[in-house]
Amino acid sequence: MPPPSTKFVAGDRIQVSSGPLNVRATASLTGTLLGTEATGALGTVAGGPTASGGYSWWNVSFDNALTGWSVEDYLVKYTAPPSAPTITLSAFPTSVTSGGSTTLTWGSTSATSCTAGGGWTGTKATSGTQSFTNLTIAATYTLSCTGTGGTVAQDATVTVTAASDTTAPSVPANLVATTISSSQINLSWSASTDSIVAGQATSGVSGYRIYRNGILFTTTTGTSYSSIGLSAGTLYSYMVSAYDVSGNNSTQSIAATATTLLAADVTAPIVSLSAPSTGATVSGTVTVSAIASDPTVTGYSTSGVAGVQFKLDGVNLGVEDTIAPYAISWNTTTVTNGSHTLTAVARDAAGDVTTSSASTVTVSNTTPPPPDITAPTLLTISVGSLTSTSAIINWTTNELATSLTTYGTSSTLLDKQVYDPSPLLSHSLAIVNLKRRTTYSYRASSADTSNNTATSPLFSFTTLNGKPSKIKGLTVTGGSIILAWDALPQNDFITQIVIYRSTANYPTNADTPSLLATLTDPNTSLYHDQAVTSGITYYYTIYAVDDLGVYSDPTQISFTTQAQAAVTGSTGSTGSTGSTGSTGSTGSTGSTGSTNAPSSGLTSEQIQAILS
């Protein structure tokens, strides 16, 4: 007989592995059949084993109340699956006013990890608390916990009651400034909306504030405005912000700029005779030449020189010359020997006229030698020493001759000239006071001693980028700190003014943490630094920045905040409690409360308006 089976022991939980399984009253194939159990039926071993008929028998109490003997071969030990996790999740309070807070509390059983979803995220402990502040919208917080017995989830919902409207309307978009005349610019923009913000009421857009050159000057309820009473030929910058019924004001829009039309040209040209010189003795055929230009006057158009009429003794000498350089050949043999007077009358396209100073010459003709009718030859014309504001035009001639360069920003209007009457073989004329990053057209001309003139073809050059104009006239006014400076020149491509501040030394534009402010309106000429502390010395560095990101040379000034402290501007000396400019020297006799602060370019009423 084989040894007794040790597969089970009394009290083991078992499961039918293959059914139906017979359950008998005795451990025998002939024992009374009490019933059968299906595959998967569960029970508990009550006794056994007993060997009979070649089988090991076990007495089993099945969970359906049937108890009897069954063959071991169709039974396996059963291990109960782990219990499923449970979760408790609650919120307190479950309803808050917009901006309020709530706390979630949770616990779990049979869980090894938990994950948040819905109104919160991340992995969470199997129990704990978490607070949520500044609630503006309702949220449902879900917690899912996982264990060996599976995964369960539970939700907690918190409702939010709307608060009053504290949200500004959207920033006005698509601002366009259109020049209408020399005194009017029209503005238009897209309407703003008062966005619906979860947790807040929406009061609706009420109107728009309009800023000109950074200063609020009017309001309107529409999406267009006509700005009138403006100065001619002047650049204006506009920005618009929207405000709602609750008084919330949006950020200002992107600036739109426009320049009013120039007023009609009422300025006469400038003209002077360049040859022959007064007091000269002339004979034969000579060249009479003049230099003429139409000056630029702020706010007025420049129509350009239309022509120059030369006069001999008050009578027209030849026809009007309409193309620069202005010159005419004069056959002196057509007049008597002796003293004669030459003048040049310049006319611009607007009809303004100027007569040059008279040049008195002496005509002395004898039997003339064969006339020189050959003009000089211009060779190797080039541009040298090019900078952002100047250039030198170089060329050579095959005979002694004068030097003349006419130039301008238009290939059809060479309205400026540089002239050297000296007879030379190598010619170099410096052109100065040019605009940076600007293309100029020019011609070179030379007249020989017989006044035969040669003029080159049209050439051009472009001035270098250079640096934008440096901030000038920087001053500081005490109390809280107000920086002021001279207005920057127009048409210098400047798009920003950046201010750096340090309490250790003068910062540079490489010192990013010291960046205090970026002013996007290049017409701005003051800045109010309110975030200062009494008794601290502040060092300021200011740059102008152009549209290519090029920085000007720095302008620097320092100031020690102290009640009623003496203040000195950027080029003066200061007392021991005042401010020090970047090129000034520090004095030793400054006194607290003195009134020797330099002018900042602001009236006391303007300063008080800034500080209020």
pLDDT category at 41 given cuts 50, 70, 90 is very high
Closest-CA residue to 438 (of 482, 389, 399): 389
Q: Is 233 helix (H, G, I), strand (E, B) or coil?
A: coil
- Find out whether 22 and 87 touch, Cβ atoms under 8 Å: no
**598 contact partners, CB below 8 Å, separation of at least 6:** 475, 567, 568, 569, 572
Dihedral of alpha carbons 533, 539, 542, 548, sign: negative
Indicate whether 225 pLDDT > 70.
yes
Q: What is the pLDDT of residue 355?
A: 95
Does 336 lie in the same domain as 301? yes
Average pLDDT over residues 101-120: 92
Indicate whether 519 pLDDT > 80.
yes
* Of the residues 524, 543, 561, the one at which a domain ends: 561
| 468 assigned to some structural domain | no
Does 274 lie in the same domain as 247? no
Encoding tokens for residue 262?
A: 């120039």
Closest-CA residue to 275 (of 263, 260, 287, 284): 287
* Of the residues 99, 129, 161, the one at which a domain ends: 161
Number of Cα atoms under 13 Å in the Cβ half of residue 30: 1
Q: What letter represents residue 286's amino acid? A: V
Number of Cα atoms under 13 Å in the Cβ half of residue 434: 29
Q: What is the pLDDT of residue 366?
A: 84
CA dist 490 to 214, 228, 285, 524, Å?
16, 21, 48, 12
Does 342 lie in the same domain as 298? yes
CA distance 180 to 379: 49
Percent of the chain with pLDDT over 90: 67
Does 275 lie in the same domain as 248? no
- Find out whether 90 and 127 touch, Cβ atoms under 8 Å: no
Q: Are strands 359-363 and 281-282 parallel, antiparallel or unpaired?
A: parallel
Does 480 lie in the same domain as 432? no
pLDDT, tens only, 123-140: 999 999 999 998 888 899
pLDDT category at 81 given cuts 50, 70, 90 is confident
Average pLDDT over residues 6-22: 91
Average pLDDT over residues 200-213: 84
| 584 assigned to some structural domain | no
Q: Which range among 66-80, 150-164, 165-179, 436-450 shows the weakest confidence by mean pLDDT?
A: 150-164
CB burial of 441-455 (b: ≥16 within 10 Å; e: otherwise) equals bbbbbbbbebbbbbb
Beta bridge partners of 86: 109
Q: Are strands 378-384 and 359-363 parallel, antiparallel or unpaired?
A: unpaired
Q: What letter represents residue 384's amino acid? A: G
Does 349 lie in the same domain as 284? yes
| 317 assigned to some structural domain | yes
Q: What is the pLDDT of residue 368?
A: 61
Percent of the chain with pLDDT over 70: 89
Closest-CA residue to 493 (of 563, 442, 544, 457): 544
Q: In which element (H, E) is residue 605 found? A: helix 604-611
pLDDT category at 103 given cuts 50, 70, 90 is very high
Closest-CA residue to 570 (of 559, 562, 580): 580
**109 contact partners, CB below 8 Å, separation of at least 6:** 83, 85, 86
Indicate whether 584 pLDDT > 90.
no
Does 138 lie in the same domain as 113? yes
| 583 assigned to some structural domain | no
- Find out whether 329 and 286 touch, Cβ atoms under 8 Å: yes
Average pLDDT over residues 521-529: 92
- Find out whether 248 and 167 touch, Cβ atoms under 8 Å: yes
Q: What is the pLDDT of residue 234?
A: 92
Backbone angles phi, psi at 440, to 5 degrees: -120, 140
pLDDT category at 42 given cuts 50, 70, 90 is very high
- Find out whether 455 and 426 touch, Cβ atoms under 8 Å: no
Indicate whether 586 pLDDT > 50.
no
Q: Is 165 helix (H, G, I), strand (E, B) or coil?
A: coil
Does 255 lie in the same domain as 289? no
H-state helical runs in 435-477: none
**283 contact partners, CB below 8 Å, separation of at least 6:** 332, 333, 363, 364, 365, 366, 368
Q: What is the pLDDT of residue 574?
A: 34
Closest-CA residue to 321 (of 218, 477, 487, 455): 455
pLDDT category at 340 given cuts 50, 70, 90 is very high
Q: What is the pLDDT of residue 1?
A: 54
Average pLDDT over residues 11-36: 92
- Find out whether 59 and 43 touch, Cβ atoms under 8 Å: no
CA distance 56 to 70: 9
Q: What is the pLDDT of residue 564?
A: 47
| 140 assigned to some structural domain | yes
For position 73, which CATH number holds? 2.30.30.40
Encoding tokens for residue 339?
A: 């003293």
**Considering all CA atoms of the chain, what is the largest pairwise distance in Å, rounded to the nearest integer?**
168
pTM for the full predicted model: 0.34
Does 293 lie in the same domain as 255? no
pLDDT, tens only, 392-410: 999 999 999 999 999 999 9
Hey, what's the torsion of the CAs at 507, 509, 513, 515, to 10 degrees?
Answer: 90
Higher pLDDT, 589 or 258: 258
How many domains does the chain contain in total?
A: 6
pLDDT category at 201 given cuts 50, 70, 90 is low
Q: What is the pLDDT of residue 456?
A: 95
CA distance 434 to 383: 14
- Find out whether 387 and 466 touch, Cβ atoms under 8 Å: yes
For position 533, which CATH number holds? 2.60.40.10
For the chain, the residue count is 612
Q: Is 611 helix (H, G, I), strand (E, B) or coil?
A: helix
| 611 assigned to some structural domain | no
| 519 assigned to some structural domain | yes
E runs forming strands in 530-605: 537-546, 555-560, 579-581
Average pLDDT over residues 276-296: 93
pLDDT, tens only, 472-517: 888 887 667 899 999 998 888 999 999 999 999 999 998 989 999 9
Q: What is the pLDDT of residue 587?
A: 32
Average pLDDT over residues 463-477: 86
Q: What is the pLDDT of residue 199?
A: 52
* Of the residues 127, 161, 195, the one at which a domain ends: 161
E runs forming strands in 139-221: 139-147, 150-161, 173-179, 185-190, 205-212, 215-220
CA distance 523 to 601: 15
| 124 assigned to some structural domain | yes
Closest-CA residue to 535 (of 594, 478, 612): 478
Q: Are strands 515-519 and 555-560 parallel, antiparallel or unpaired?
A: unpaired
Does 328 lie in the same domain as 398? no
CA distance 584 to 600: 16
Does 138 lie in the same domain as 98? yes
CB atoms closer than 10 angstroms to residue 13: 14
- Find out whether 330 and 311 touch, Cβ atoms under 8 Å: no
Q: Mean pLDDT over all residues of the chain?
A: 87
Does 274 lie in the same domain as 252? no
pLDDT, tens only, 159-195: 987 767 778 899 999 999 999 998 999 999 999 998 7
Dihedral of alpha carbons 581, 585, 588, 590, sign: negative
- Find out whether 20 and 35 touch, Cβ atoms under 8 Å: no
Domain that residue 454 falls in? 378-463
Q: What is the pLDDT of residue 167?
A: 83
- Find out whether 315 and 273 touch, Cβ atoms under 8 Å: no
Indicate whether 440 pLDDT > 80.
yes
Q: What is the pLDDT of residue 300?
A: 75
